[in-house]
Amino acid sequence: MDKNLKDTIKAAKNLQREGLIYLNDNVDLEVEPNYQILIMIINNLKKLMDREKYELVKNDEEKLIHELALLNFNENDLINDDDVEFMENMTREYIDISNPILNRGDYLFCPILYKLFEIYEKASLQIKEGKFKNIMF
């Protein structure tokens, strides 16, 4: 067996043991994330940006997404490009950046509700199928 494939399978099995993914043990090696974990990540995203910062980046979608992603890290955190990219992708995929709500000098960005609802349905199905324990419902 190819060493890269063997290492990939081993890494996937470790993620499955940690409860982060479900790995279907068949020839196709089907993998799906634990949607309960994904929901927790989305719900814990920092979605509040001060008005001044928002005014500086509101006309540049990529800068806005980048700044929202950076809100999820503390000043003293050791972060790398992969961490920032992951948070940017989460923001891009699940947060509505087009219609923030101004509240007391800060802009609040809300999750895209239909996407969140779809993930809740997938998480519920995974629990019913016995792929993961119920850790949030």
Give pLDDT tens digits for 16-43.
888 878 877 665 667 899 999 999 999 9
Q: For the CA atoms of 33, 4, 79, 123, what is the dihedral angle to 10 degrees?
A: 0
Q: Is the dihedral of CA 126, 129, 135, 137 positive or negative?
A: positive
Residues 6+ apart with CB under 8 A from 128: none
- pTM for the structure as a whole: 0.79
Question: Average per-residue pLDDT in the chain?
Answer: 90
d(CA 25, CA 81): 32
Q: What is the mean pLDDT of each run of 10 residues along the chain (137 residues)?
A: 70 81 72 93 94 96 96 84 93 96 95 97 96 91
pLDDT (tens digit per residue) in 122-132: 999 999 999 99
Q: Helix, strand, or coil here: 102?
A: strand
Cα distances from 64 to residues 79, 85, 99, 119, in angstroms, run 19, 13, 12, 24
State residue 79's pLDDT score.
Answer: 80
CA 15 to chain centroid: 16
What is the C-alpha R_g of the chain?
Answer: 18
Tokens 């994330």 label which residue? Answer: 33
